[in-house]
């Protein structure tokens, strides 16, 4: 399969910044989909489905592209899902529930060839072990970084790292919303060598 122009199905500045690290030119566009969970849908199935649907939502606009979709949820040990909190009170509640607990972040990743309809999709897990947090810890963090648009109520790439005891997983980039190791694997399966292509792109500049 010959590489095609890349599209990131997201308006997230965090995902854009991650994809830029691979040195590949790309466009980005926001998909307009219903992100509600289906009744009884497991977190892994939800995030993988939404990643695919985000990519598919742009396929008529970008008809000869590789479209990257990604979605993320966080789950507590009891299986409950943590979404983007949206405000201080909900973020405070989320971090209080995470205190001293292991939280599993599940990041769905999909790569769609819009010309052929071929897809690759997976769910990348990553575990975060939170320190035992005081209410003061939580309030100081939230008022400093205001991570109300982030699943789990923290930003891994910022001060959120101070909330953790340890991390377990293959790719910490998945916590920010785009598992780059898995994405590079997908690219190679379809004939795009990220290292060789990044070298060619830099040589043209």
21 inside domain: yes
In this predicted model, which residue has the larger pLDDT, 102 or 1?
102
| Structural domain count of the chain | 1
Residues 6+ positions from 65 with CB-CB distance below 8 Å: 4, 5, 6, 7, 113, 114, 115
- Please indicate, yes or no, whether the overall pTM of this predicted structure exceeds 0.85: yes
Residues 6+ positions from 33 with CB-CB distance below 8 Å: 50, 53, 54, 57
Domain that holds residue 152: 6-204
1 inside domain: no
pLDDT digits (tens, 9 = 90+) for 130-145: 999 999 999 999 999 9
pLDDT digits (tens, 9 = 90+) for 3-59: 899 999 999 888 999 999 999 999 999 998 988 888 888 899 999 999 999 999 999
Mean of pLDDT values over 62-90: 92
Whether the CB-CB separation of 19 and 8 falls below 8 Å is answered with yes
> CB-based burial of residue 33 (10 Å sphere; 0-12 exposed, 13-18 middle, 19+ buried)?
middle
CATH of the domain at 113: 3.90.950.10
63 inside domain: yes
Q: Which residues are catalytic?
A: 71
């Amino acid at each position: 399969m010959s590489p095609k122009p890349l599209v990131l199905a997201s308006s997230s500045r965090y995902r854009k910044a991650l994809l830029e690290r691979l040195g590949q030119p790309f466009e980005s566009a926001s998909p307009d989909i219903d992100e509600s969970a289906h009744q009884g849908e497991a977190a892994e199935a939800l995030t993988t489905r939404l990643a695919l649907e985000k990519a598919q939502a742009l396929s008529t606009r970008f008809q000869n592209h590789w479209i990257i979709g990604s979605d993320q949820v966080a789950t507590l040990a009891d299986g409950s899902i943590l979404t983007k909190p949206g405000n201080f009170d909900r973020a405070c509640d989320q971090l209080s529930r995470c205190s001293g607990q292991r939280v599993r972040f599940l990041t769905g990743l999909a790569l769609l060839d819009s010309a052929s309809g071929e897809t690759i999709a997976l769910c990348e897990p990553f575990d975060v072990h939170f320190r035992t947090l005081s209410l003061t810890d939580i309030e100081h963090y939230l008022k400093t970084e205001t991570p109300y648009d982030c699943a789990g109520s923290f930003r891994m790439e910022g001060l959120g790292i101070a909330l953790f005891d340890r991390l377990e997983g293959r790719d910490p980039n998945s916590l920010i919303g785009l598992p780059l190791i898995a994405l590079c694997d997908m690219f190679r399966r379809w004939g795009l060598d990220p290292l060789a292509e990044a070298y060619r792109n830099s040589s043209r500049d």
